[in-house]
Every structure is written in C-alpha cells, then in structure tokens.
Amino acid sequence: MGDIVEQARHFGRTVLAAAPAPDVETVYDDRHPLWEQFRSADLADWWVPAEYGGRGVGLCESVNVVSELSYHDAGFAFAAFLPILASRMLELYGPEELARRYLAEMATHGSFAAALGSEAEAGSELARTQTTFRRDGDVLHINGDKQFSTNLAFARFCLVLARDVDNPRDFALILVPSDSPGFVVGQRWPMSGLHGTATYPATFTDCVVPAANRLSGNGIRILEVGLDASRILMASIAIGLTRRIRDLSMDYAASKRLGGQPLNRNAVFGARMGQLEMELETMKAQCRCAAAEYDDIYQRSDRAAVFYADGVLKSAIVAKMHCGQVGWRVASRASEAFGGLGYTAGHDIQRCLRDMRHIAIVEGGDDVLRELLYGRYVKRASRRG
C-alpha cells in the first residue's frame, strides 16, 4: 500500500503544482485529467475499508493527506475527500448488500458519491426539511428540491434526506442511484472559491427507488454522523492553506525590501510569522485530536451504535470552527501584507483567501455550529467537559 501521506505529497508536488490554476469553469469530475491521474495513483477514495477493496486509511492519516493536497489546490482536495460523507453513512447504516455494491465500485473505480441535505427554505435547519418520501409496497416515492450538493452531477449515487409524508417526524436517508427516473440535477452553482469543485441543486419528481435503499435509523442523526468525518477533513484544508500562505509570505519577504533591508530581516514581519506558526500548530493539534477520537470510535466493533448515540462529535465541530476562524485571520493578514498584489484576482494569496473563507461556511456555518455546541455540550450540564 505504501505511505499514503508521502504519495499525496508527491502527487501534490509533481502533478497539482504543475497544473494550471483552476477557474470558475473548471470541474474536477471523473473525466478530468487530474482525477484520472489521482485514480491511477490509487489515491481516490482512500478511506474505503479493505473489506470492500479499498485502502482503509484512517482519519488521522487522512488529515495529512488533505493538508498535502490543499497546499496546492484546495478545490481538488475538497472534491477528493467529500465522498467520505455519503460513503461513510452508507457503510455504517446501509444494508450490507447495498454498501458492498457501491463501496466496492468506489474502491475499484475511484467513483464519486454525494449527499443532499440543505434546502432553500430550511437551510441548515434539517428538521424543517420539506423533501418527502412515501412508501408504496416495496418502493419509495421521493418528491422535493435540494439546494447544495458537491460532486452530484457525476456521482454514482447520492443520499437524500427526506421526511415521511404519513409521519412528518420520521426522517430518512435514502440512496438514489444516479440514473433514477425523476431525479434531475440542476444548473451548477458558481462559487467564489474552491474552484474546480462543482456544486448543484436537484429536483425529485416522483422519483422511485427500492424501499431497501433506506438507511437504518433517523436520517438527521445519520447525517450528523457523516458530517463528523467530512468536517474534520474540511478543517484540514485550512492547515494546507495556512502552510501555503506561510511559504508564499516567506518567498515574498526574501525579495521585498523595506528600509533598504530584505523584509525577512524586519522584526515586525518576524513576529507576525512567529504568530502564524503558533496558530498553525494549534490548527494541527485540533485536527489531530478530533481525528484520533474519530478513529478510536471507528475501530470499535460497535462503532455504528456509538457514533449514532452521540451524533455530533464535539471535537469535530471545534476543529472545523477553530481552523476556519484562525485560518481566515491568517489569510486576511497575508492579503494585507502583500498590499495591492494581495487583492488581485490572479494572485496566489487572493486564491488562498477565497478558498479559506469557505471553511467557515461549507459543512455547516459557524453560527450553526455554535448553536450545536451550545445545545449539545453547554446547555446540558451533564455533558460539560
């Protein structure tokens, strides 16, 4: 299998670093040359368990993989790891036959999977979901509209959050194959950052799938479990971007002169870079802590039940919030330090700034996560650490 972190580092330095910077038209789908090289290097879907033919890489190593990829291209890193959201939910709570079919395909072909939760009216308030399903014998009929789903247009399957028409308190996650009649992917959303990723809305009009495609358990709780892994990896994008900002700043300081001396000899600049290095280490520590807790649970034989009981891992939320907030401060200061260059559209620092902003928005905005922390871990005295 080899050292996957070293493989990711090599791929970043030799392939991503040499590729043209993505723009708003770029789509890292399963036909893009970079994805084909990634897949050929046996890096795609690296977390899929060995029992399904995958590499079974844990989240601790995955944090480093994503950091290496995002150092060069945060959009590629996001597109590459996001299928863990749907695939991990399917693995833990889907019927074995269904999980084996789709996860084995991901391991073999490096294919994509997507998840659909948010809606125009409900936003991140998943309990207000208006997409519905109705059981009719051995099939489910799905109707409704979803808002944001990355990789959806080329995913082999998606998991859709819907509520039961006959029991509005019953929420389900339902696997919908990409070729299902009544399932239509809308026009791609243009995003300000994370160029190369492709995010779409979707409409379900009497979309019929087998009743066996429903995952076991409450759909909202299952989605919370899935987001634990993807939020930790979202946070690790900020680590890669911060490392990139540090190195770009040092390169700039070596040639930029201030008061007749190279900027890297300036005491104020040195102090700021020392502060950045401290902040980078706190980001790494938060991600490592969250990933280690996740891996400890995942290695248990009763992992599905343990994850389900908690739903939201406190460490995952903290990692995403901390890395997003600290990373944004780092990127904003760097943009100022580069002056006019730091605000030009084609500059690497401006690209890092745009990409970093997404950390606090994607996979649950900070206000949503603050409310989760308060409701799950502060309001209940028994759960305060």
Per-residue pLDDT tens over the stretch 152-200:
999 999 999 999 999 999 999 999 999 999 999 999 999 999 999 999 9
CATH architecture of 219-379: Up-down Bundle (1.20)
pLDDT at 383: 81
Q: What is the pLDDT of residue 242?
A: 98
Sequence letter at residue 251? D
Q: Residue 1: its pLDDT value, please? A: 41
User: At a CB cut-off of 8 Å and minimum separation 6, what does 376 contact?
Assistant: 311, 312, 314, 383
Q: Residue 2: what pLDDT?
A: 56
Q: Where are the domains of the chain?
A: 4-112, 114-213, 219-379
Residue-level pLDDT at 35: 97
pLDDT at 345: 82
268-323 pLDDT, tens digit each: 999 999 999 999 999 999 999 999 999 999 999 999 999 999 889 999 999 999 99
- Which pLDDT does position 121 carry in this prediction? 86
Contacts of 287 (CB under 8 A, 6+ apart): 63, 232, 235, 236, 239, 319, 323
Q: How far apart are the first and last CA of the chain?
A: 39
What's the distance, CA 72 to chain centroid? 16
Q: Report the C-alpha gap between 185 and 207 in whole angstroms.
A: 13
Note the pLDDT of residue 247: 97
- Rounded CA-CA distance 279/281 in Å is 5
Q: Which residues of the chain have pLDDT under 50?
A: 1
pTM (2 d.p.): 0.95
Nearest to 116 by CA among 231, 180, 201: 201
Q: Does the domain at residues 4-112 carry the CATH identifier 1.10.540.10?
A: yes
Fold of the domain spanning 114-213: Butyryl-CoA Dehydrogenase, subunit A; domain 2 (2.40.110)
CA distance to 234, 323, 325, per residue, from 279 (Å): 17, 9, 11
The pLDDT value given to residue 341? 83
